[in-house]
Chains A and B, each alone.
Chain A
Amino acid sequence: MQQKVTRYAGATFTQVILAGYTVLALFPIVLIVINAFKNRAAIFDSPLALPNSESWSLIGFEKAMKNAHFFSFFGNSAIVTVTSLALILFFGAMAAWALSEYKFRGSRWLMAFFAFGIMVPIRLGTVSILKIMVSLDLVNTLTALVLVYVAQGLPLAIMILSEFMQQIPKELKEAARCDGVGEFKIFFQVILPLIRPAVATVAVFTMVPIWNDLWFPLILAPGEETQTITLGVQQFIGQYATDWNAVLASLSLAVLPVLVLYMFFSRQLIRGITAGAVK
Chain B
Amino acid sequence: MSHVSLKNLKKSYDGKTDVLAGINLEIEDGEFVVLVGPSGCGKSTLLRMLSGLEEISGGDLEIDHARVNELPPAQRGIAMVFQSYALYPHMNVYKNMAFGLKIQGAGKDEIDRRIRHAAGILKIDHLLTRLPRELSGGQRQRVAIGRAIVREPKLFLFDEPLSNLDAALRVQTRLEIAKLHRDLNATIVYVTHDQVEAMTLGDKIVVMHDGHIQQAGTPLELYQRPANLFVATFIGSPKMNLLEGVVTNASASGMTVTLAGGQVLSTEVDGTRAAAGDRVTVGIRAEHLWENQDGSERFAGTVNLVEHLGEANYLYVTLTTGHDVVVRGHGDREVGLGDAIRMSAPSAAFHVFDRDGVAFTRLKPGNLRSSKG
Which residues from chain A sit less than 8 Å from chain B, CB to CB?
Answer: 169, 171-172, 174-182, 185, 189-190, 193-194, 275-276, 278-279
Contacts and interface: CB of A to CB of B under 8 A. Distances in A.
Nearest to B151: A179
A279 B135 CA distance: 11
Contact of B74 (A171, A180, A190): A180
A119 to B, nearest CB: 34
A179 B85 contact: no
Closest 7 CB pairs of A and B: A180-B74, A179-B100, A171-B86, A175-B86, A171-B82, A193-B90, A178-B73
Contacts of B100: 178-181
Nearest to B84: A171
A195 to B, nearest CB: 11
A190 B132 CA distance: 14
A172 B96 CA distance: 11
Interface residues of B, number: 28
Given A179-B74, A179-B151, A181-B99, A279 B89 contact: yes
B205 interface: no
Given A185-B103, A279-B132, A279-B133, A177 B73 contact: yes
What's the dominant secondary structure at chain A's contact region? helix
Contacts of A185: 103
A171 B88 CA distance: 10
Contacts of B140: 279
B54 to A, nearest CB: 10
Interface in B85-109: 85-90, 99-100, 103-104
A174 B133 contact: no
Interface of B: 51-53, 72-75, 78-80, 82-90, 99-100, 103-104, 132-133, 140, 147, 151
Nearest to B48: A174
A174 B84 contact: no
Contacts of A177: 52-53, 72-74
Contact of A172 (B75, B88, B104): B88
A179 B104 CA distance: 8
Given A174-B53, A279-B140, A179 B86 contact: no
A278 B99 CA distance: 18
Contact of A169 (B52, B84, B104): B84
A194 B80 contact: no
Nearest to A169: B84
Contacts of A279: 84-85, 87, 89, 132-133, 140
B103 A174 contact: no
A181 B74 CA distance: 8
A219 B132 CA distance: 52
Given A169-B84, A174-B53, A279-B89, A179 B99 contact: yes
29 contacts: A169-B84, A171-B83, A171-B85, A172-B88, A174-B73, A174-B80, A174-B86, A175-B80, A175-B82, A175-B87, A176-B99, A177-B52, A177-B53, A177-B72, A177-B73, A178-B73, A178-B74, A178-B79, A178-B80, A178-B100, A179-B100, A179-B151, A180-B72, A180-B73, A180-B103, A181-B99, A275-B133, A279-B132, A279-B140
B103 A181 contact: yes
A275 B134 CA distance: 11
Contact of A179 (B89, B90, B103, B132): B103
Nearest to B79: A178
Contacts of B89: 194, 278-279
A166 to B, nearest CB: 16
Contacts of B75: 180
Nearest to B144: A175
Contacts of B132: 279
A181 B78 CA distance: 14
Nearest to A275: B133
A172 B140 CA distance: 14
Contact of B88 (A178, A182, A190, A276): A190
A179 B73 CA distance: 8
A174 B88 CA distance: 11
A277 to B, nearest CB: 9
A172 to B, nearest CB: 5
Contacts of A194: 89-90
A172 B86 contact: yes
